[in-house]
Structure 1
Amino acid sequence: MTTNTIQQNVEKALEEIRPFLKSDGGDITLISIEDDKHVKVRLEGACTSCNVNQMTLKAGVETTIKKYAPEIETVVNVE
């Protein structure tokens, strides 16, 4: 897949999960995709102080991104 396609797929995944984050007063922004394998995102709003944000990142965000872009290996939150 092209880098552009991977980015589009990651953006689609974030659009799918964004309503759930917004319902809790948070949001998410794509920061970068490195080597077409590693995604960096920033959890925002209420998500930054939420004590389950690592669980949300792994269970929700990473799973959804991998559904749209299976070649992604890691998803990390940068602050």
Structure 2
Amino acid sequence: MDELRQTEARVEQLIAQLATTPRIGEQVEELVRLLMRLYGDGLARITELLPGDQVAVLAADDLVSSLLILHDLHPRSTEDRVADALDQVRPFLGSHAGDVELLGVDAAGLARIRLLGACDGCASSATTVEYAVERAVRAVAPEVTGVRVESTPPQLPLLQIGSGPPPRCPVPTGPGARA
């Protein structure tokens, strides 16, 4: 997986370098677009010809999964994959006496997540949990444009309502007491 990430980073670096020479950069961008379309169409044909369960097996492989995501061919939605990532990180969250809830992934690709339980109260714990959640989400859904971790709104203290008037405060007595 590290080799894949290194290759992706090198491709981006080369494209950025070639883009500094306008004519060559434009030609390289067109070449990359055409190759991407060719490979994407090939992958689309493969996924059409295979039964769904075999496509799911292919999608379980990290490299194939990233290619399917790149060409918008992954058999599982972004939201489903993000939910799976949260399921994977829940045992870690339990060690911080907390949980997490997926609020959704919007059309722009922003994943909104809410921390629940003790993770919400401690700043260092919340930062650690947010980092773990973001890493897990980005590992399975690199197309997500961002991860917004929201805290649960603070709970107001519960007021006791009883029957009858409230008890009277005792009248202070003793030296210095005012009546």
Match among 118, 129, 153 for residue 56 of structure 1: 129
* Structure 2 unmatched runs, 5+: 1-71, 152-179
Q: Number of aligned pairs?
A: 77
Q: TM-score with structure 2 length normalisation?
A: 0.40
Offset at residue 36 of structure 1 (A) = 5.2
Could you tell me how far apart the structure 2 residues matched to 1:51 and 1:44 are?
13
Higher relative contact order (CA 8 A, sep 6+): 1
Match among 98, 109, 119 for residue 37 of structure 1: 109
Does the 8 A contact of 1:36 with 1:71 survive in 2? no
Aligned to 1:66: 138
Does the 8 A contact of 1:38 with 1:74 survive in 2? yes
Q: After TM superposition, which residue ranges in structure 1, 4 or more long, deviate above 6 angstroms?
A: none
Could you tell me how far apart the structure 2 residues matched to 1:32 and 1:61 are?
14
Alignment root-mean-square deviation, CA: 1.7
Could you tell me how far apart the structure 2 residues matched to 1:32 and 1:7 are?
7
Q: TM-score with structure 1 length normalisation?
A: 0.85
